[in-house]
Amino acid sequence: MLMSLSFYGGIFISKKTEIDERLVNKDSVFLGKLLNKYEEARKENLARDVDFNLFWQVWDMLKEKYVDKDKLQDKELFYGALRGLAGATGDPYTVFMNPVISKEFSDDMKGTFEGIGAEVGIKGA
């Protein structure tokens, strides 16, 4: 019983890691994105509660009237908006990480260790 639980637990963890790696990969293309399913769902949800045009009005206003508009980078504006979206939850553990930082974090969390696993200590101390 314990062996089968360990076996299936290992499969579950490996599949979850596989999925996490695909989400971090900037070259991943998801079928829902190709079929425009995400956009339809968003329009449906936002139409009731939020006028998303306000986001684009602010975006355009920054691009046109910001003092250092030549220094603005679309990617950084976009990532900043996503950080604000995650931050609006008020949960300190919910954060947006740009793809580079996300990949570094994911690599750090893989839990690979090197070496023989020895520990050095003073006996009796």
DSSP state of 30: -
Is residue 43 situated within a structural domain?
A: yes
Alpha-carbon span 16 to 4, nearest angstrom: 18
Select from 110, 98, 91, 112 the least CA-distant residue to 20: 110
**Is the same domain home to 46 and 74?**
no
Share of the chain above pLDDT 70, in %: 55
Q: Which domain holds residue 98?
A: 52-111
Asked whether residue 5 falls in the same domain as residue 38, the answer is yes
The count of structural domains within the chain is: 2
> Do 25 and 59 belong to one domain?
no
Per-residue pLDDT tens for 21-79? Answer: 555 555 555 555 555 555 555 666 665 677 778 888 988 999 999 999 899 899 999 99
User: Which helix (H) or strand (E) element contains residue 12?
Assistant: helix 2-24
Which structure tokens are listed for 105?
A: 């974090």
pTM of this structure: 0.51
